[in-house]
Homo-oligomer: A and B are copies of this chain.
Amino acid sequence: MTRSDRPTIVDVARAAGVSKGTVSFALNGRPGVAEETRQRILDAARDLGWTPSHQARALSVKRALAVGLVLAREPELLGADPFFPAFIAGVERTLSDRGQALVLQVVPEAEEEAGYRRLAADGRVDGVFLLDLRVADPRIALLEELGLPAVSIARPDVPSGFPAVLVDDRPGIAAAVRHLVELGHRRIAHVAGPSQFLHAQVRREAFTQALADAGLPPGHIVEADFSAAGGARATRELLAHQPTAIVYANDLMAIAGLSVASELGVVVPGQLSITGFDNTALAAYVSPPLTTVRTDPYLWGRAAADALLASIEGGTVDDVPVPPAQLVVRASTAPALPAV
């Protein structure tokens, strides 16, 4: 077994002719070690192929040297959402530079609390990310109780008690509505996400606000669950009110909506304009290509990881703003028909 005979700092100490403690100091770049000695130790460590034992370090510094992510969504929804892989990739980018690991937990929704508790009880992680923030989210109190540092992806106006990466979906939705209004649409509807999610709520409010700003009457809003099935159902419901445009809270529902329209003989974008949100991999490759809002979850991941590590180190961490989402205009939006 290759791994059982790994050299330890004792081996390094012996090779360099110093004590264990000195090796530790040298390897950690602490003062109090003569430059020449330090070099001799580093050389010895390199020659022996020494690698720190993460377990031993974790035990003595009383840190897990890892951060956690608990995903309590349905696997089906996760699979259709490009957010997570990109977010995680961004997180990793920061973590791997800092010798930290990401511990992932995917649990059924009912076991969300247990997931966090287990992570904390085992001392598996030093902090966690808080995603999909909900209204009066019980996790906030839970994490405080557990004494676990956290960083959330949150909206600018909703304090979560933790440092947050401030993602503002409003400009994206506003841009979509403005775009539709400029195309002459006046009967614009919205398929919202579940109202228990803050980001779904924010998008919905942004939609309402944007209509008001344009001097238009309130549009029809149907709440769905971010899934394709939900998007399809909501679309059928909305089409009864004959909107000329629908703003969806995510791409998945928008693409499902596209299909429903097509099946009902409603031509997109001729009779109905459609916008999504997320700019998923498929958005540009459906027919017609979807006008949507591009976000940058990779960047959020990096920012969130930076903030979380800083928070774990103990500093007070400021909220981190990120660039606003951008509208990507494709072919699913077109001028409204002259009359209805």
Given contacts A79-B86, A99-B122, A258-B287, 16 further A-B contacts (CB under 8 A): A3-B120, A3-B146, A51-B122, A54-B122, A55-B55, A55-B64, A56-B59, A76-B82, A78-B89, A85-B106, A92-B104, A228-B282, A252-B282, A255-B282, A259-B285, A263-B288
A241 interface residue per 8 A CB criterion:
no
What 0/1 readout, one digit per residue, does chain A (75-90) give for beta carbons within 8 Å of chain B?
A: 1111111111110110
A53 interface residue per 8 A CB criterion:
yes
Residues of B within 8 A of A79 (CB): 81-86, 280-281
Residues of B within 8 A of A88 (CB): 75, 104, 106
A86/B92 contact (C-beta < 8 A), A59-B59, A259-B285 known: no
How many copies of the shown chain assemble into the complex?
2
Chain A interfacial positions (CB closer than 8 Å to B): 1-4, 51-56, 58-59, 62, 64, 66, 71, 75-86, 88-89, 92, 96, 99, 101-107, 115, 118, 120-124, 145-148, 227-229, 231-232, 252, 255-256, 258-260, 262-263, 280-282, 284-289, 298
Tell me the minimal C-beta distance from A224 to chain B in angstroms.
Answer: 12
Cβ contact within 8 Å between B85 and A82: no
Q: How far is the CA of A280 from the CA of B79 in the complex (A)?
A: 8
Q: How far is the CA of A79 from the CA of B56 in the complex (A)?
A: 36
